[in-house]
Amino acid sequence: MTKLDLAALLPQLVSIVQDAGELIVRNSTLPKDIRKKGGNDLVTETDVAVEEQLKHRLIELLPESKFLAEESSAQNTLGDLTWVIDPLDGTTNFAHGLPFVATSVALWGQGRPVLGVINLPLLREVFAASYGGGAWCNGEAIHVSTTSELSQALVATGFPYDIKTYLPEILNNLEKFLPRTRGVRRPGAAALDLAYVACGRYDGFWESALHPWDTAAGLLLVTEAGGRVSQYDAHEKYIPGDTGILATNGLLHETMSDLLCTEA
């Protein structure tokens, strides 16, 4: 990867993602053209339009870059100088008029995300991070929570689209965490969940069967905000696309990992 001025690129990326978010805002009150990609996995015309707008603008920003995008990529391969794009995370929420939707864009290079933006257009919040440059929400620096006791923690999770395959695991983990925490939330958009860990609203998050575009930007946000990300096993490095992700404020990481890795 050629040497990039990440500090200069980040505000340009934020502007590009915010502009695409306005398309989501405009379309949020219009009738939805909804189709299924499989099972309960939905796609709307807005998903496709936002992705196309992002790709057009991002290739202008970095002409030598490549794309790994949810609606147009045939495989989940992370390459050097690759934009990793989820145009509309939380499509089911969007289809039902819920505001918990996100656009997630990361720039992947040299084995890590180096830029990341998660825009919550209907909630008017933009989270941004650069490698080594910290994490921000609407221009204000953010940091993970300082909660150190699981009993005081608010945590989040998600449910894979292949619910039948993962139902035993989901129920097993809920049985572990519900009685041991202050609460478990499931908004239905992994990018939003990771942004909320980064800014301290959640103390931890776990989910299985996510794609690289779901987590690449959030991985950078959480780590730059002082948190920790791994596979369910705290000793296994997480690469977007791995089977399961655990993201926490760091203080709860080993505790949550132990629960996830232990049979009920």
- Please compute, for residue 145, the number of CA atoms within 13 A of its CA located in the half-sphere on the CB side: 22
CA dist., res. 242 & res. 153, Å (int): 25
Question: Is 263 annotated as contributing to ligand binding?
Answer: no
Q: Note whether 254 and 234 are within 8 A (CB).
A: yes
Amino acid residing at 118? I
Q: What is each CA distance from 89 to 5, 39, 180, 197, 237, in whole angstroms?
A: 28, 16, 29, 16, 24
Question: Is 88 annotated as contributing to ligand binding?
Answer: yes
Q: Taking Cα atoms as reference points, which of 89, 84, 137, 126 lies closest to residue 107?
A: 84
Q: Note whether 16 and 139 are within 8 A (CB).
A: no
Q: Note whether 154 and 176 are within 8 A (CB).
A: no
Angle 190-198/212-224 helices, nearest 10 degrees? 0
Element (DSSP H or E) covering residue 229? strand 228-230
Amino acid residing at 151? S
Instruction: Identify any residues that bridge with 204 across adjacent strands, giving them in sequence order.
Output: 155, 248
Question: Is 246 annotated as contributing to ligand binding?
Answer: no
Q: Which residues are annotated as a binding site?
A: 70, 86, 88-89, 214
Q: Which residues are annotated as a binding site for Mg(2+)?
A: 70, 86, 88-89, 214
